[in-house]
Structures are given as C-alpha cells and as structure tokens.
Amino acid sequence: MGRGYMVEEAVERYLSSLCSSSPLTGLLLGQSSAQRDFVVMATRTPQREACPLTPSPRDTLDMEWINEHARQVSRMLPGGLSVLGVFYISDAEAKDTLITLRQLVFAVQKSISRDLLWLSGDDDISERVTLHVNSTTRKTFCRTFDVRDPKSTAKPADWRYQSGVCGSWPMVWSCVEVEIPVSLPPRGARPGDLETSLQEGLKLWAQQIERGTFLLDGRKISEDTELTGPTKRNVKQSLQAQILTTPVCPGEQVSQVGASGGRVVLRGAVHTRAYLHGNKPTARLAEKALKRDLLSTVALRLNMVLEELMETQERDRLSLPTRVMCPLRGLGVGVCDYRFSDEGPLEVLDRLKEILDLEVRQEDLDHTQEEEAVTVETQPAPNEGVQRSELQAAVVPPLKPQGRSYIGAAMATVMALLAAAASLLYLDD
C-alpha cells in the first residue's frame, strides 16, 4: 500500500453533497507529514458563468479557471495548511479519469508554486493526492503522483475517514517586526517592471527571515524537540514564538537603490500563525511553518498594494490590507482573508463563500489580530514635486494568551507598541 491519508469525516459529507452537481472539480486541503497526510477540508471549484464545466468528463476542463482558483485558495491558508491535491466527481469509471486527474494535479501545483518565496527542501513531501468520486455509486478511487517528477506514474494510496483529525492540533503564533524597502519603477512602467522591483525587495528580506533565530515560548530549543501538548482530545495547545533577525549588511542593500519612481518601505508588526499536525510535531516543523506563513502573508499584501498602485497610478494614497482570521467551527484550524480599509465584513464573508465554499457567520471573523492604525507623511520620487498625503497601514496588538502565560510575551508587547509608535508604510525618494 502507498501513502496513507487520514481524512476528516466532514470531507466525506461534503463530497457526497456535491455528487448531484457532477461533473465538477475541487481541491483537498490539509497538511503532510513523513508518515501520512491529513486532509481536513475540501472545496469545489466555483462555477464560471462564462465557461462552465462541460457535462462530459471527456471534454476539456477550464484549466485556467481551476488554476486561478487554486492560487486564491492557497493565499487563504495560514501556515501548516496547504493544497494537498485535487478531486474530480463524475459518473465515469475511475480508470477513465486518471489522465484528467494527473493533468489537474500537476497544473494546480505549478500554479501555486509561482507565488512561493522559498524553494522546496529535501524534507518537503512532493506526493500529491488525486481522488475520483463516482457520483452514482459514491465509490472513491485514490492515487498519488510525485509532482517533482514530470514522468511520475500513479501510485495507490490508502484513504480513510476519521472524526477529529485536527481537533487538537497545536497552534504556534507570533508578532513579527518587518522592514522591507522596495524601489518602485517610474510612472508608466510595464507591469513586469513592478513585479521585478517587488521580488528584489522581498528577496533580501526573505533571506533574513530564513536565517532568523526561532524562539519558542522565549527559549531556543533543539530542532528535533517534540512539542508535547495536552493529553486530552480536542484540547488545543497554543505556543508563542519569536523570529529574531539581524539588520541587512550595507553591501546587501545595493540592489535596493536605483533611479526609480520612489520607494516603498513596509515597516511594522505582522501577525503570523501556523497549525501543526498531531503526529509528533517538532520544533523544526513549527519554525518552517511559521516562517513560511510570514513570508506568504507579507508578500501577498505587498503584492496587492503595489498592483493597486500600478492600476490606479495614485501614489499619494495606499491602503495596506489587514489579515482577518476565521476559525472553523468543530475543526480546530482556521483560514484567513485580507481586507482593505474600504471593505466591510460582508466582502470577507462573500469571498470565503465563493473561494472556499464556507458558510461563515460574521461573529466568527477575528479582526482583533491586526487593526488599522496610524497615518504618516509621504515623499514621492525626485522631480515629481513634494506633496503631503496620508497612508493607511496596519499594526498588530499582541495576541492575548488563553489559559496560561507565556515566557517572552513582554517582548512581543514591546514590539507591538514600538510598531504602533513608528511609521508603518511610507514612500521615500
């Protein structure tokens, strides 16, 4: 038998509910470990009105739409959670869907990988799961592919449903100070120039984070240390972490300086969190998951701001989106979304429904981890004239621990207070 998959029972009910709407595709979400994978959620690909899925499984699927949906879903997953594979519901025989599933899983993985700021390590699991559900018989057919190998063939996998798969997963969180300078291209530059500037600015910062010292509950512990948690089922463990970095050397800053349309510096504190599977998680897993969540959430928001900047060409006003957390009732994990200052909770609820197919109540949304804060003065690029304007940014109060006190909480509090007193986002020539 091949790789094993422990699947939350809610996934079985969800897939069964979709059988009447077949054919359709979707994503399987969860976390990998060395021994097995844990599937905690599934979400269908939303129907595209202009180009709906055709009724025959032999017809070509809308891969562009499916890939874009996968990218949007990946952005809404905090650390530790990722897209583990794809599912396909149809009335076809399982053996007749293998080529389609293979095409889907490789395309989705390629689409998601474009947004990552890190390279996969040797300890990263490269097998992705494909699941076919027969809409008539409700039988499932599970196979895996190694997405690192373009010539990979299907391998059998063990697919088992179980209740409470992630109910007691530990959560690790942190309040991290960031400072990232990005040189902007001149007005009227091509979109590719903006992307290049963004990647250059994030590259050195990402290297800082990768080299950063990871503390757990205020202590530096061995990477192989197992994170022992509560012995009772569905009792969560919450761990506070710190990521300490050293300033960039002057020689490393050269690539950030150049004749451009100004400079954006992202400075402040960001809330980051990760969920760890319950199969003997280690400090190394906690560090990797939290750092990757930090890289993802900062890069995504900076991308969103600069995309808006290039579309509107209004450099005198920017809005930094804040992260909205959404714990999932009964699962023990959560997802997230990003909200601009001119958006309300209803927009967040609509996106959660459209992208993740989640029915969420407004009171389930957690806005407290990041709150809109200060306004600052800006300076445009040379020769554009100095003008005073306002910029909206985000500050993160320290997360309030529940049920216990944490060593190092004072450090996070000081960081947040300093961030609140300082400029968070400004333009500089």
User: How far, in Å, are 49, 249, 264, 422 from residue 394 at the CA level?
Assistant: 36, 27, 15, 11
Q: Is the pLDDT reported for residue 175 higher than 50?
A: yes
Task: Read off the pLDDT band of 191 (50, 70, 90).
Answer: low
Cα distance between residue 158 and residue 137, in whole Å: 19
Greatest mean pLDDT among 72-76, 327-331, 364-368: 72-76
pLDDT at 95: 85
Of 4-18, 152-166, 287-301, 318-332, the range with the lowest mean pLDDT is: 318-332
Judged by DSSP in three states, 10 sits in: helix
> Between 402 and 90, whose confidence is greater?
90
pLDDT at 49: 73
> Between 365 and 252, whose confidence is greater?
365
Overall average pLDDT of the 404-411 stretch? 30
Overall average pLDDT of the 94-112 stretch? 91
Q: Is the pLDDT reported for residue 387 higher than 70?
A: no
Task: Read off the pLDDT band of 234 (50, 70, 90).
Answer: low
Residue 10: count of CB within 10 angstroms of its CB = 17
Across-strand partners of 146?
127
Q: Any idea which residue has 């190394």 for tokens?
A: 284
Overall average pLDDT of the 263-291 stretch? 86
Q: Is the pLDDT reported for residue 420 higher than 70?
A: no
Of 37-51, 261-275, 341-355, 364-378, the range with the lowest mean pLDDT is: 364-378
Residue 157's closest CA among 18, 34, 6? 6
Q: What is the CA radius of gyration of the chain?
A: 22
Task: Read off the pLDDT band of 87 (50, 70, 90).
Answer: very high
Cα distance between residue 129 and residue 83, in whole Å: 10
Cα distance between residue 322 and residue 107, in whole Å: 30
pLDDT tens digits along 205-223: 888 898 999 999 889 999 8
Task: Read off the pLDDT band of 18 (50, 70, 90).
Answer: very high
- Tell me the pLDDT of the chain averaged across its residues: 77
Residue 425's closest CA among 256, 242, 301, 260? 301
| Terminal C-alpha separation, the chain | 60
pLDDT tens digits along 137-157: 999 999 999 998 888 899 999
- The domains located in the chain, with CATH, are 4-162 (3.40.140.10), 171-428 (no CATH)
pLDDT at 401: 31
Cα distance between residue 60 and residue 56, in whole Å: 9
Cα distance between residue 85 and residue 65, in whole Å: 16
Judged by DSSP in three states, 363 sits in: helix
pLDDT at 94: 84
